[in-house]
C-alpha cells in the first residue's frame, strides 16, 4: 500500500481533514496540533476525533502525523521557553490519545549558542518527563537541515537523543527529504549510502515517516526552504527512486510543499503515477 498525503489545515476539525484527504486521493495526512507559530490549541472534541478514526479505518489510511508547533524548542537557552515546550508536549500527547496509533513529529530544537551537547541533554530531559508507558502515540524526531544552531542535522545527534531516553520504544524518526539534502546527505546520487548510514547510526527500524519535499537550495546549503516536487534541487527522478526504495516504500509519505489543495492533489497524482505496484 502506498500511503501518501499532505499537510492539511486543522481549522475545520478532524473529520473535515479526513474528508479533504479523501477528496485529493490521499490516504493519510499531517496537521498541526495547535497554532504553529503560537501556542493555543482548540478544545478537544472527542466525537470529532472518533469520527476521523472511523473514516481512516474504513478507507485504509496510513498513520496520521501530528506536527508540534515550530515555537516548541526543547533546548532553548531560555528556561521559560523550555517550560512552554514541556507543557505543550505534555498537552499534545494527552490529546493525541484520542487519535490512537498516531505519530507526533517535533523539531528537536535550536540550542542558540549553548552547544550541541547541552541541547541534546535538554531535549532528552524533556522527553524523559513527557513520555509515558501507556501512550499510543509514537514520537518522531525530525531530521533537520542544520540551519543556525539546529540540533538534528546529523544522524549521530538523533542517535544521542534516543540513547538518553528511558522509554525509547516510544521514539522514532521522521526523515525530511529537503532537510537531509540541505544537511549534506546525498539522497540524489547515493540514496543507498545515505540509508546505510541511517541504518548503521540510528537503525532503519526507527524510521517511521517521510516528509517528501523538494528543496529550493543546493545540496548541503543548510537552508531549509521547501520546493514543489520535481521543481527543486532534488528532482523527480530522485523522488521516484526514494518512494520506491525497498527500505522506504512501505512508509507513509507526507508532502509539505508550497501548494494549495489543488497543487497537493496534482502532486499526489504525480507520485502515485510513478510508484510501482509490486
Quick one: which segment of 28-36, 40-48, 108-116, 203-211 binds Fe ion (CB under 5 A)? 203-211
- Catalytic, out of 111, 179, 181, 206: 179
- Catalytic, out of 67, 95, 159, 206: 67
Binding-residue total with Fe ion (CB under 5 A) = 3
Q: How far is CA 99 from CA 33, 44, 47, 64, 135, in A?
A: 12, 11, 11, 8, 11
Cβ distance to Zn ion smaller for residue 7 or 34: 7
Closest contact distance (angstroms) between CB of 161 and Zn ion is 19
Q: Return the closest-CA partner of residue 156 out of 108, 189, 226.
A: 108
* CA R_g for the chain: 18
Selected binder of Fe ion within 82, 159, 170, 211 (CB under 5 A): 211
Residues that bind Zn ion (CB under 5 A): 224
* Alpha-carbon gap, residue 232 to 93, rounded angstroms: 35
Taking CB under 5 A as the rule, does residue 182 contact Fe ion?
Answer: no
Q: Rounded to 5 degrees, what angle do the CA atoms 109, 115, 117 make?
A: 85
User: Could you tell me if 143 and 183 are in contact, meaning their C-beta atoms sit under 8 angstroms apart?
Assistant: yes
- Catalytic, out of 142, 150, 157, 182: 142
Quick one: which segment of 20-28, 47-55, 175-183, 216-224 binds Fe ion (CB under 5 A)? 175-183
Q: Where are the beta strands (DSSP E) in the chain?
A: 3-7, 29-32, 65-67, 103-106, 109-110, 138-142, 150-151, 171-176, 207-212, 214-215, 226-227, 252-255
Taking CB under 5 A as the rule, does residue 92 contact Fe ion?
Answer: no
- Catalytic, out of 70, 117, 169, 250: 70
- The question of whether 276 is a catalytic residue gets the answer no
Cβ distance to Fe ion smaller for residue 19 or 154: 154
Q: Return the closest-CA partner of residue 242 out of 267, 278, 276, 201.
A: 276
Q: In which residue are the cell numbers 497554532 written?
A: 35
Ranked by CB distance to Zn ion, the top (closest) residue is 224
Near Fe ion in 123-142, by CB under 5 A = 142
Cβ distance to Zn ion smaller for residue 137 or 143: 143
Q: Return the closest-CA partner of residue 18 out of 44, 41, 49.
A: 49
Taking CB under 5 A as the rule, does residue 176 contact Fe ion?
Answer: yes
- The question of whether 211 is a catalytic residue gets the answer yes
Kindly list the residues in this chain that would bind Fe ion in the complex (CB under 5 A).
Answer: 142, 176, 211
Active site residues: 37, 67, 70, 107, 142, 176, 179, 211, 224, 226, 256
Amino acid at each position: 500500500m502506498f500511503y501518501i498525503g499532505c499537510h492539511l489545515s486543522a481549522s475545520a476539525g478532524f473529520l473535515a481533514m479526513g474528508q479533504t484527504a479523501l477528496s485529493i486521493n490521499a490516504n493519510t495526512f499531517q496537521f498541526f496540533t495547535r497554532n504553529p507559530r503560537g501556542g493555543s490549541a482548540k478544545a478537544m472534541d472527542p466525537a470529532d476525533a472518533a469520527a476521523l478514526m472511523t473514516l481512516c479505518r474504513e478507507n485504509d489510511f496510513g498513520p496520521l502525523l501530528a506536527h508540534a508547533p515550530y515555537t516548541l524548542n526543547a533546548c532553548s537557552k531560555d528556561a521559560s521557553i523550555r517550560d512552554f515546550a514541556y507543557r505543550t508536549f505534555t498537552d499534545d500527547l494527552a490529546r493525541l490519545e484520542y487519535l490512537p496509533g498516531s505519530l507526533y513529529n517535533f523539531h528537536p530544537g535550536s540550542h542558540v549558542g549553548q552547544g550541541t551537547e547541552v541541547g541534546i541533554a535538554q531535549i532528552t530531559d524533556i522527553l524523559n518527563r513527557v513520555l509515558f508507558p501507556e501512550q499510543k502515540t509514537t514520537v518522531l524526531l525530525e531530521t533537520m537541515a542544520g540551519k543556525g544552531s539546529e540540533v538534528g542535522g546529523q544522524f549521530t545527534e538523533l542517535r544521542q537523543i534516543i540513547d538518553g531516553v528511558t522509554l525509547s520504544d516510544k521514539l522514532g524518526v521522521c526523515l525530511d527529504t529537503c532537510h537531509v539534502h540541505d544537511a549534506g546527505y546525498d539522497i540524489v546520487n547515493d540514496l543507498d549510502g545515505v540509508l546505510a548510514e541511517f541504518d548503521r547510526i540510528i537503525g532503519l527500524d526507527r524510521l517511521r515517516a517521510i516528509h517528501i519535499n523538494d528543496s529550493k537550495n543546493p545540496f548541503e546549503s543548510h537552508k531549509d526552504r521547501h520546493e514543489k516536487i520535481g521543481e527543486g534541487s532534488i528532482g523527480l527522478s530522485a523522488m521516484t527512486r526514494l518512494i520506491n526504495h525497498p527500505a522506504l516504500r512501505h512508509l507513509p509519505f507526507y508532502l509539505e510543499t508550497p501548494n494549495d489543495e489543488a497543487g497537493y492533489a496534482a502532486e499526489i497524482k504525480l507520485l502515485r503515477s510513478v510508484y510501482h505496484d509490486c
